[in-house]
Structure 1
Amino acid sequence: MTVSDIDRLHSQLSKLEDLFPGYLTEIVEGSIVMNPVRPFHGKTIQRLWNIVEGQLPPEWALVSDVAFPFDDANEFCPDLAVIPAEAEDENHSAYPADLIELVAEVVSPESMRRDYEVKPRWYASRGIANYLVLDPLQGHLVTMWNPGPDGYRGRDTLPYGQELTLDSPLGKLIIPTTHLPVDRKARDRD
Structure 2
Amino acid sequence: MTVADEGSDGLREQLRLPRNMRLRLTGNGLTLVPVTGAHWTTRRRIENQIEERLPGWQPVGGFAVTPPREGHSPEPDASAVPSDRFKPGDSKIMEDQLPFVVEVVSPESEGRDHSTKADHYAMRGIPAYLVVNVLTARWTLLTLPENDGYQHSESGKFGEEIRIPVGDQTLVLDSSTFMRV
Given the two structures, how large is their TM-score scaled by the length of structure 1?
0.81
Q: Is the 8 A contact 1:53 1:62 kept in 2?
A: yes
**Which letter maps to 2:152?**
G
Between the two proteins, the alignment pairs up a number of residues equal to 175
1:180 aligns with 2:178: yes
SS across alignment from 2:142: strand
Report the counterpart of residue 60 of structure 2 in structure 1: 63
Q: Specify which of 10, 13, 37 is matched with residue 15 of structure 1.
A: 10
Per the alignment, do residues 93 and 21 of structure 1 end up closer, same or farther by CA in structure 2, a change over 3 Å counting?
A: farther
1:80 aligns with 2:90: no
Give the Å deviation of 1:156.
1.1
Larger mean Cα displacement after TM superposition, 135-144 or 166-175: 166-175
**Which letter maps to 2:54?**
L
Whole-Å Cα distance in 2 between the matches of residues 96 and 27 of structure 1? Answer: 20
Give the Å deviation of 1:168.
3.4
- Consecutive unaligned residues of structure 2, counting only runs of 5 or more, are none
Per the alignment, do residues 99 and 27 of structure 1 end up closer, same or farther by CA in structure 2, a change over 3 Å counting?
A: farther
Q: Is the 8 A contact 1:121 1:149 kept in 2?
A: no
Report the counterpart of residue 131 of structure 1 in structure 2: 129
Whole-Å Cα distance in 2 between the matches of residues 75 and 33 of structure 1? Answer: 16
Q: Is the 8 A contact 1:140 1:159 kept in 2?
A: yes
Report the counterpart of residue 40 of structure 2 in structure 1: 42
Whole-Å Cα distance in 2 between the matches of residues 32 and 170 of structure 1? Answer: 40
Report the counterpart of residue 150 of structure 2 in structure 1: 152
Give the Å deviation of 1:31.
4.7
Given the two structures, how large is their TM-score scaled by the length of structure 2?
0.85
Give the Å deviation of 1:62.
1.4
Overall identity of the aligned pairs, in %? 26
Q: Is the 8 A contact 1:45 1:79 kept in 2?
A: yes
Q: Is the 8 A contact 1:26 1:77 kept in 2?
A: no
Between the two structures, name the one with larger relative contact order (CA 8 Å, sep ≥ 6). Answer: 2
Give the Å deviation of 1:51.
1.3
Report the counterpart of residue 187 of structure 1 in structure 2: none
Q: Is the 8 A contact 1:129 1:169 kept in 2?
A: no
Residues 95-134 of structure 1 show CA distances to partners (whole Å, capped at 9, x for unaligned) of 2222211110000011112211111111111221111110
- Consecutive unaligned residues of structure 1, counting only runs of 5 or more, are 1-5, 184-190
Q: Is the 8 A contact 1:141 1:158 kept in 2?
A: yes
Residues 15-67 of structure 1 show CA distances to partners (whole Å, capped at 9, x for unaligned) of 34222132234545695454322110100001111112112231x22111111
